[in-house]
């Protein structure tokens, strides 16, 4: 039995595209007075600089819809909350209409899943009219139950943000969470810079609020919470392993190690989609080649097995020359973990796409894979 690396890479790409096509659309309303930092927040949290480069289209007088091709996300940006009571009332009913309209179509892809209301921490106050507005909105939203999150924008000072949060907490507004965020680094003079933060917390809370079917979308579209991506991807690995190689797994002969491939292809595809990076066949090919330690286009199942067992002393002397469920699980976990590390490094800019074929990157992937094999065995 021979494995064709190019072939497997193609399978991965197909599976990735299929999964991307099947992602549900996530729909979020972002509200708040002008200048509080809504657009900056959107660009910080989501990939593709949505607020700058997305296509904005007015849907009602005060609501603009932002979308971008190949991003399964729709943002409704509200305009005019600072223009006084009458406009605020109009915006509230436009929001409620939107929520209800989407509910009635019963189209999951159109439902409003969450509202972010933005308040500027730097201004140090939430105004009376905003408090009223949030109370009224949550009252009208009592049956529709769209979760409302208060985002404290421009939280340059963490301690000030904490105080502000405590104060808003004490108002007992009917909201799911209050999250301080700094969406853009803040420079104090030339010598002190506060880095953006709050994305991890906001995405973690979103993950708790959204239904399971929207989590892959959330991970795909967000770029501000790498830890959350890693956590989710580890979950994918764990689920794959338990679902495929738990008890009852019929041992696979060494030479047929390729039988594990479809499961592993699906796992790699899910992880890729969660990271939302542009991954092409070249990247996958390099990854597989480095893991298998081969520069050739094909590799025999037996060669892989013996190579692996060299890396796994003790497990190599296997029952009847076959790979057991336990070994399949160890190998698949190590594969998943190594791929997650690769994705993470690409997200953090530690490995650039064009460098992936470099000896350095390849040997690093191999090193991670080996270490994971040892760790999981
Ligand atoms: N340093 C820093 N500046 C911010 C942050 N958030 C917003 N700003 C700045 O505040 C100004 C207003 O931000 P926007 O994101 O345009 O505010 P907005 O709510 O979209 O405003 P409208 O579209 O007019 O309603 C811009 O100059 C931003 O650069 C932040 O987290 N850090
Ligand atoms: Mg804006």
Q: What is the pLDDT along the chain (377 residues), one digit of tens a residue?
A: 788 999 999 999 999 999 999 999 999 999 999 999 999 999 999 999 999 878 888 889 999 999 999 999 999 999 999 999 999 999 999 999 999 988 888 788 999 999 999 999 999 889 999 999 999 999 999 999 999 999 999 999 999 999 999 999 999 999 999 999 999 999 988 889 999 999 999 999 999 999 999 999 999 999 999 999 999 999 999 999 998 887 778 888 777 777 889 999 999 999 999 999 999 999 999 999 998 887 778 887 777 777 777 776 655 455 567 788 888 898 899 999 999 999 999 999 998 888 888 888 888 889 989 898 888 77
> How confident is the model at residue 257, as a pLDDT?
74
Which residue, judged by its Cα, is nearest atom 22 of ligand 1? 34
- Among 30, 34, 37, 195, name the best residue to mutate to test ligand 1's pocket (greatest count of ligand atoms within 8 A of Cβ): 37
DSSP 293: T
> How confident is the model at residue 315, as a pLDDT?
56
Distance 37 CA to ligand 1 centre (A): 3
> How confident is the model at residue 339, as a pLDDT?
96
Q: Treating both helix axes as pointing N-terminal to C-terminal, what angle do 281-292 and 359-376 enclose, rounded to 10 degrees?
A: 60
The DSSP bridge pattern shows strands 55-58 and 63-68 to be: antiparallel
Rg (CA), the chain: 24
- Among 33, 34, 40, 116, name the best residue to mutate to test ligand 1's pocket (greatest count of ligand atoms within 8 A of Cβ): 40
Which residue, judged by its Cα, is nearest atom 10 of ligand 1? 37
Distance of CA 238 to the CA centre of its chain: 17
| Pair 241, 332: CB distance under 8 Å | yes
As given in the structure block, the two tokens for residue 235 are: 């979950």
**Phi and psi at residue 247, to the nearest 5°:** -55, 145
Distance 133 CA to ligand 1 centre (A): 22
Which residue, judged by its Cα, is nearest atom 3 of ligand 1? 184
- Among 35, 76, 83, name the best residue to mutate to test ligand 1's pocket (greatest count of ligand atoms within 8 A of Cβ): 35
> How confident is the model at residue 105, as a pLDDT?
81
Distance 334 CA to ligand 1 centre (A): 42
Cα separation, 120 vs 273, in Å, equals 33
Q: Is 3 in the pocket of ligand 1 (CB under 6 A)?
A: no
> How confident is the model at residue 152, as a pLDDT?
98
CATH, domain 32-221, list 3.40.109.10, 3.40.630.10, 3.40.50.300, 3.90.76.10? 3.40.50.300
Q: Is 34 in the pocket of ligand 1 (CB under 6 A)?
A: yes
Q: How far apart are the first and last CA of the chain?
A: 25
Cα separation, 40 vs 34, in Å, equals 12
Enumerate the CATH 3.40.50.300 domain ranges in the chain, comma separated.
32-221
Q: Treating both helix axes as pointing N-terminal to C-terminal, what angle do 226-245 and 199-209 enclose, rounded to 10 degrees?
A: 40
> How confident is the model at residue 325, as a pLDDT?
86
Residue 86 neighbours by CB under 8 Å, 6+ apart: none
């Amino acid at each position: 039995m021979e494995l064709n690396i190019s072939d497997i890479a193609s399978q991965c790409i197909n599976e990735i595209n299929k999964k991307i096509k099947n992602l549900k659309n996530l729909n979020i309303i972002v509200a708040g007075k002008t200048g509080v930092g809504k657009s900056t927040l959107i660009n910080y949290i989501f990939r593709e600089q949505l607020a700058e480069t997305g296509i904005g289209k007015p849907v009602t007088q005060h609501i603009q819809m932002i979308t971008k091709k190949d991003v399964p996300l729709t943002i409704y940006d509200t305009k005019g909350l600072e223009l006084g009571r009458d406009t605020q009332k109009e915006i509230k009913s436009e929001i409620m209409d939107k929520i209800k309209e989407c509910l009635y179509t019963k189209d999951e892809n159109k439902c409003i899943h969450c509202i972010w209301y933005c308040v500027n921490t730097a201004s140090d106050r939430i105004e009376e009219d905003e408090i009223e507005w949030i109370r009224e909105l949550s009252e009208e939203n009592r049956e529709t139950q769209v979760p409302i999150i208060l985002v404290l924008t421009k939280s340059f000072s963490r301690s000030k943000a904490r105080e502000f949060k405590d104060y808003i907490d004490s108002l007992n507004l009917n909201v799911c969470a209050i999250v301080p965020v700094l969406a853009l680094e803040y420079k104090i003079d030339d010598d002190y810079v506060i880095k953006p933060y709050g994305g991890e917390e906001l995405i973690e809370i979103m993950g708790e609020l959204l239904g399971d079917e929207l989590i892959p979308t959330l991970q795909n579209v967000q770029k501000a919470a790498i830890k959350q991506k890693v956590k989710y991807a580890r979950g994918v690995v764990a689920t794959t392993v338990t679902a495929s190689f738990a008890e009852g797994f019929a041992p696979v002969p060494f030479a047929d190690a390729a039988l594990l491939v479809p499961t592993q292809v699906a796992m790699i595809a899910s992880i890729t989609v969660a990271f939302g990076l542009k991954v092409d066949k070249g990247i996958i090919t390099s990854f597989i080649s480095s893991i298998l330690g081969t520069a050739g286009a094909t590799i025999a199942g037996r060669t892989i097995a013996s190579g692996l067992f060299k890396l796994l002393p003790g497990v190599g002397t296997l029952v009847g020359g076959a790979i057991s469920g336990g070994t399949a699980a160890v190998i698949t976990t190590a594969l998943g973990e190594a791929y997650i590390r690769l994705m993470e490094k690409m997200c953090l800019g530690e490995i650039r796409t064009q460098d992936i074929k470099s000896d350095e990157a390849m040997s690093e992937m191999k090193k991670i894979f080996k270490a994971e094999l040892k760790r999981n065995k």
